[in-house]
Chain A
Amino acid sequence: SQTIHQWPATLVQPVGSPLSLECTVEGTSNPNLYWYRQAAGRGLQLLFYSIGIDQISSEVPQNLSASRPQDRQFILSSKKLLLSDSGFYLCAWGWDTEAFFGQGTRLTVV
């Protein structure tokens, strides 16, 4: 069966520091991968999606970037965090229908 791992679960970072959130999927190959941000416990904002290695699309301009160095690894990064980057970040994988989510990372920028 497929599983998705996302870490860390919580993170407190100072403004201006770098960020790296990692997500890995097991039990499948060539999945579509997604990074979402959820602000204030509500709506989901799609940040990035990837249909293959080095094939990443950005949905919104922001202070973040994503990379997919391996087929089942998806990384969300920032060189310098802003206060507005605080939120709940969710990684997900899927094919042509539903998506399956990791447990999320609560990022607080202070």
Chain B
Amino acid sequence: AQSVAQPEDQVNVAEGNPLTVKCTYSVSGNPYLFWYVQYPNRGLQFLLKYITGDNLVKGSYGFEAEFNKSQTSFHLKKPSALVSDSALYFCAVRDILSNYQLIWGAGTKLIIKP
């Protein structure tokens, strides 16, 4: 079955330090992978996606993600965290068995401390 796992419920990082939010997936065939961010009481905002090509994908707000096929991972990264990066982050994979659905991770709360 297609699935996405975000193993960390919460990640705490000091401002200015690098951050990583982890995501692993299980799909049939080649995955389409996505990261979204959600601020309180707001809809999800698309950050970046991997479809094909370079394993390092750059997205909005200075975020990037690295696709690792052998480890079936798609970790979200940023070299220097900002307090304003504090939010809920979701990883998702497109289900090739159903063209219309995204399979979502449970979300990781990122807290950046000044």
Could you tell me if B44 and A106 are in contact, using CB atoms closer than 8 angstroms? no
| In-complex Cβ contact of A101 among B32, B43, B101 (8 A) | B43
Chain B interfacial residues counted at CB < 8 A: 22
Secondary structure call for the A interface: strand
On whether the beta carbons of B102 and A106 are closer than 8 Å, the reply is: no
As a 0/1 sequence over residues 16 to 52 of chain B, the CB contacts with chain A under 8 angstroms (1 = contact) are: 0000000000000000101010001111111001010
Residues of A within 8 A of B99 (CB): 51, 96
CB within 8 Å: A-B pair count: 52
Contact assessment for B32 and A104 in the assembled complex, using a CB-CB cutoff below 8 Å: no
Nearest neighbor of A97 in chain B, beta-carbon distance: B32
| Interface contact A101-B51, CB-CB below 8 Å | no
Of A90, A92, A97, A102, the residue contacting B94 (CB under 8 A) is A97
> Judging by beta carbons under 8 Å apart, are A101 and B104 in contact?
no
Which listed residue (B46, B51, B94) contacts A100, Cβ 8 A? B46
- Knowing A46-B101, A51-B100, say if A90 contacts B32 (CB, 8 Å): no
Chain A residues with Cβ under 8 A from B32's Cβ? 97
Contacts of A35 in B (CB 8 A): none
Tell me which residues from 15 to 49 in chain A have a Cβ below 8 Å from any Cβ of chain B: 32, 34, 41-44, 46, 49
A99 at the interface (CB under 8 A from B): yes
Known: A97-B32, A97-B51, A104-B42. A43 touches B100 (CB 8 A): no
List residues of B whose CB falls within 8 A of some A CB.
Answer: 32, 34, 36, 40-46, 49, 51, 88, 90, 94, 99-102, 104, 106-107
Instruction: List 16 A-B pairs, Cβ < 8 Å.
Output: A34-B100, A41-B40, A42-B88, A42-B106, A44-B104, A51-B99, A88-B41, A90-B43, A92-B43, A97-B32, A97-B94, A98-B49, A98-B102, A103-B42, A104-B41, A104-B42
